[in-house]
Homo-oligomer: A and B are copies of this chain.
């Protein structure tokens, strides 16, 4: 339940404050002080001091139902969007990509053991389900795999250890052998084609953005549904996708 730095011992205070913030991020409604304390496994007194400080600074707000994230979250995001090189460079390129393909395109980056959607441009055919900016999504599900492909065996094992197997939209679990096989395919092809992984009927084509030094700094995604397109037709758009990735890598 907790992001739990466990009993670890360095940077404890700040780490705990971030745990509190993220417990509110995950919550689907206001939390009581005691609920926060429980979810991050902190003493009530410690939680109280931390929460009150974050309230004073606007990171948390309180109403009669409890505590939730405060408006400063918006300020940070606003500043991020203004300054972030990758998202400012990528947005117009996603615009072209969506214009030429007619599909929704998006870009995401790795953050810890998840990925975060950083920018999105909707295509002509709007999607039924939402994929909103800022959302945290598993790395080992759908297009996230292109960001795992470069991990060596030890790092991948450690990753699997930390996050466990992903559950597909079908309900099936994706074990580590499945994942390893798909990562090999990604390495061979340079892209990932996802069919009903995150969402039933969803179809996505994803490619990593590599710098000159082969480091993946993010990935670009084309999303559609089986109703609109066939897998083969989507893969046929790979050159467009690759061009967008190259253009972003060049300008970032």
Q: Are B49 and A111 in contact (CB under 8 A)?
A: no
Output the least CB separation between A123 and chain B (Å). Answer: 21
One of A80-88, A180-188, A200-208 contacting the partner: A80-88
Q: Are B50 and A14 in contact (CB under 8 A)?
A: yes
Partner among B57, B61, B69, B83 whose Cβ is within 8 Å of the Cβ of A76: B69
One of A21-29, A97-105, A243-251 contacting the partner: A21-29
Q: Are B75 and A76 in contact (CB under 8 A)?
A: no
Give Cα A136 to B82, complex, Å: 13
Q: Are A132 and B78 in contact (CB under 8 A)?
A: yes
Q: Are A84 and B69 in contact (CB under 8 A)?
A: yes
Q: State the A residues within 8 Å of B (CB).
A: 11, 13-15, 17-18, 21, 24-30, 49-50, 53-54, 56-59, 61, 63, 68-81, 83-85, 109, 111-112, 116-118, 132-136
Chain B residues whose C-beta falls within 8 Å of the C-beta of A135 in the assembled complex: 75, 78
Partner among B29, B85, B111 whose Cβ is within 8 Å of the Cβ of A58: B111
Chain B residues whose C-beta falls within 8 Å of the C-beta of A21 in the assembled complex: 76
- A-B pairs with beta carbons under 8 Å apart, 29 shown: A11-B49, A13-B13, A14-B14, A14-B53, A25-B75, A25-B76, A26-B79, A28-B83, A29-B83, A30-B83, A58-B116, A61-B84, A69-B76, A69-B83, A70-B111, A71-B116, A72-B116, A73-B73, A73-B76, A73-B77, A73-B80, A74-B80, A74-B116, A75-B134, A75-B135, A75-B136, A76-B134, A78-B135, A79-B134
Q: Are A59 and B18 in contact (CB under 8 A)?
A: yes
Give Cα A132 to B53, complex, Å: 27
Q: Are B84 and A80 in contact (CB under 8 A)?
A: no
Q: Are B79 and A24 in contact (CB under 8 A)?
A: yes
Chain B residues whose C-beta falls within 8 Å of the C-beta of A69 in the assembled complex: 76, 79-80, 83-84
